[in-house]
Structure 1
Amino acid sequence: MTTTEVSRPGADDTDRTPGSGRRIGALDALRGLALCGIIFVNIPPVMHMSGTVDMEVLPVRHVLDMTVQQRFFPIFALLFGVGFGIFLQRAGTRSERPRLLLGRRLLALAVFGALHHLLQPGEALLVYALIGLVFLLPLSWAPRWANLLIAVMLLLAGLTVASGGIALNPGLLVLGFAAAQYHLPEKLHRSGKPILAVFAASVALSVVTLVWQEQDPLSAGFTTSSSLAGLCMATAYASGFLLLLPTAVGRVLSGTLRPLGRMALTNYVTATLLFIPLGHLLGLHESTAWGTELALATGILVLQAVWSRVWLAYFSYGPMEWLWRCITWWRIVPLKPRP
């Protein structure tokens, strides 16, 4: 290996505060929240479920279109961008060639995504890896203000493309990368008033964009209105959740969602490995059994929340997170925490 490590390689860099070595719990909890929404919209296309009858959208499908579809993937994509930005900062304190490490990390994610794509066409990991290689690596040399401007331009361009929100991913990842450059993640705990302002504005915009999206319910997910509504509601969900975290209810939610989010890569992939066989077993394939779909998604989330908590009680990383880290640093990283 050609890199020179300054401190212990393999530490959990993705969500740690630069310079402190501590994870940012709010990011883990947000990522867990995103996973809770994503599974509900991943099952139907893989199972080829029908959402309409006689040109009318079925009730459960319609509720998902209005409250879940395109509302959680923006959070997931943004957090991947944040994670790549924080990783690069941390790697810069440990290696003379941090971009080499980031490049290897992105290539490993591309391989994971390509394999996952065989089971779930349209999955996100391969897309994030390619965006990272094409956009984030070159932009790592750019000043943070330029990356913020580029992110806004990419988001505006993405909103004009009717592609189910996929075109928003470059802008979201670059925006998350710029947020990490501005050190915003570690400031979340003392940003109550700005977050409240963002929440209030995003809720107001969500109402307007939802009314707009509702004008064409049959095309939900493939229109500018639904993409914009998705961005606004994702912002409302994320900012509202951050405001809730310091409360008693938020602490309970965080205790459940943080383990889920710390093992986001493992849980994202294993959800597919679970819902494909179980979906066929339950008769979801080419069906309109949306109630069963809701039950299946909920059951998988409960199982993952329990097993993530149990796993992390004994190990430092999830199985895929550990493998990803080993490939990134090109050495075997200890899986169990040091005494």
Structure 2
Amino acid sequence: MNSIEQTRRIDALDYLRGFALIGIILVNILALLSVQMPEPHTANAAYQKWLYVFVETRFFSIFSFLFGVGFYIFLSRAISKGKNGYVLFIRRIIALFIFGCIHHIFQPGEALAVYAICGLLVMPFYKVKKEINLIVGLVLLITFAILSMKELMSFPYILLGLAAGQYRIFEKLSEQKRLINKFTFVMFLLSIVGLTYQYMQSPLRPFYGMILEGTDDLNVIQTNKFLKIGIMIGPIVSAFYVGLVIILVRVGMIAKLLSPIKNLGRMALSNYIMQTTFILLANVVLHLNNKITYLETLYLCLIILVLQLIYSTIWLRFFKFGPLEWIWRMVTYLKRMPLRKVN
């Protein structure tokens, strides 16, 4: 792998991580601030429906997939340098689990601890043939999606990320332009069909963003169907988003324009936790809990994202890693790492 290919691969992953963080905050803020149920036929109700058509389950899946890709890259690089990659990875996972447990105190249902557990479960698959990992990952993902088992879908996404690493997809992006274009186009067509079908099943009234069983309320029944379809088609829509981002960042002008998103993704761990911090600080200052509307959460998220894009860009001009990435790295290697860039 030459240096140019390596840079492109890393850049593509960072763009995708940043893109995923943009979607994740839009959904996470809803539970953190106990957002008010919107009134029917209002802009808030329309935004709620938009979230559950285009965002919900779409971005955490990209984040999970990228964790799997990162797992393969980390382990393969460590082993290629003659290090005990498995020991390093276990320390890395333990640190991630601790981050997740602390984060869980403030945001129940957060993803880091789940990723740590799934990382341990996926580790034995590192030496399994890539074809087997691909098939097992797809079968599990399709099964869990059909059964609307969203909580279990992180594992197959991570396994598919591992398989993508084994196939060296992100190392050969420049060689697979036509294949990526065709893949993205097919996912686009399937997404149109799936999203149109989901939208046609939209409940007439605003809804709670969770599947509720044991009720004969017609709106709840329709909501359940709407949400289950969203989970089912989620992998297709997420795949289209990934392909589209890869295609866009291949264009030099667009890649430069979106470079702040790449910086956001380079500090994905720090920014993921900082999103929760910003939301909770806003709540302390403005007393937003159970008072903020859906559209107001969008405005708050945009403010937070702009701040993150700015400080991530400034931070990375002077430092090699994000602050939490730096701590994570030192725990992994059990030694102090230089943080500041040397001119």
Tell whether the structures are fold-level matches, with TM greater than 0.5: yes
Give the counterpart letter for 1:197 in structure 2: K
Residue of 224, 238, 243 corresponding to 2:242: 238
Corresponding residue pairs, total: 322
SS at match of 1:313: helix
Kept in 2, the 8 Å contact 1:28–1:262? The answer is: yes
Q: Is residue 2:307 matched to residue 1:303?
A: yes
Which residue is 2:333 aligned to? Answer: 329
* Equivalent residues of 1:111, 1:126 under 8 A apart: yes
In structure 1, C-alpha distance between the alignment counterparts of 2:108 and 2:2, rounded to whole Å: 34
TM-score, normalised relative to structure 1: 0.88
Q: Give the one of 156, 173, 178 matched to 2:142.
A: 156
Tell me which residue corresponds to 1:180.
165
Structure 2 partner of 1:46:
32
Q: Which residue of 2 aligns with 1:9?
A: none
Unaligned runs of 5+ in 1: 1-15
Segments of 5+ residues of structure 2 without an aligned counterpart are 212-226
Q: Which has the higher helix share?
A: 2
Query: 1:250 maps to what in 2?
Result: 254
Q: Residues of 2 paired with 1:18 and 1:224: CA distance?
A: 44
Query: Which deviates more, 256-265 or 240-249?
Result: 240-249
8 A Cα contact 1:32 1:257, kept in partner = yes
Distance apart, 1:190 and its partner CA: 2.9
User: Which residue of 121, 141, 157 maps to 2:108?
Assistant: 121
Amino acid at match of 1:247: V
The answer on whether the counterparts of 2:33 and 2:292 sit within 8 Å (CA) in structure 1 is no
How far 1:99 moved relative to its partner? 0.9
1:73-115: CA deviations, max 9, x gaps? 1111111110011000101022442111111111111110111
Distance 2:310 2:292 in 1: 29
- Whichever residue aligns with residue 329 of structure 2, its letter is R
Q: 2:274 aligns with which of 258, 270, 273?
A: 270
Amino acid at match of 2:333: W
Superposition deviation, residue 52 in structure 1? 4.4
Deviations along 1:242-276, whole A, 9 cap, x unmatched? Answer: 11112255223431111100000000001101111
Q: Structure 1 residues 63-72 or 75-84, which shifts more?
A: 63-72
Q: Quote how far apart the aligned CAs of 1:221 are.
A: 6.0
- Separation in 2, partners of 1:155, 1:320: 31
Structure 2 counterpart of 1:6: none
- The offset of 1:19, in angstroms, is 12
- Indicate whether 1:144 and 2:148 are aligned: no
Is the 8 Å Cα contact of residues 12 and 246 (structure 2) preserved in structure 1? yes
Corresponding residue number in structure 2 for 1:75 = 62
Q: Is the 8 A contact 1:113 1:125 kept in 2?
A: yes
Q: Summarize the Cα distance change of 1:107–1:93 in structure 2 as closer, same or farther, 3 Å threshold.
A: same
Moved more, 260-269 or 99-108: 99-108
After superposition, the Cα gap between the structure-2 partners of 1:279 and 1:193, relative to the gap in structure 1 and judged at 3 Å, is farther
Task: Measure the CA separation in 2 of the matches of 1:199 and 1:173.
Answer: 20
SS of structure 1 residue aligned to 2:172: helix
1:118 to partner: Cα distance: 0.6
In structure 2, the CA distance between the partners of 1:73 and 1:110, relative to structure 1 (3 Å rule), is: same
Q: Residue 139 of structure 1: SS of its match in structure 2?
A: helix
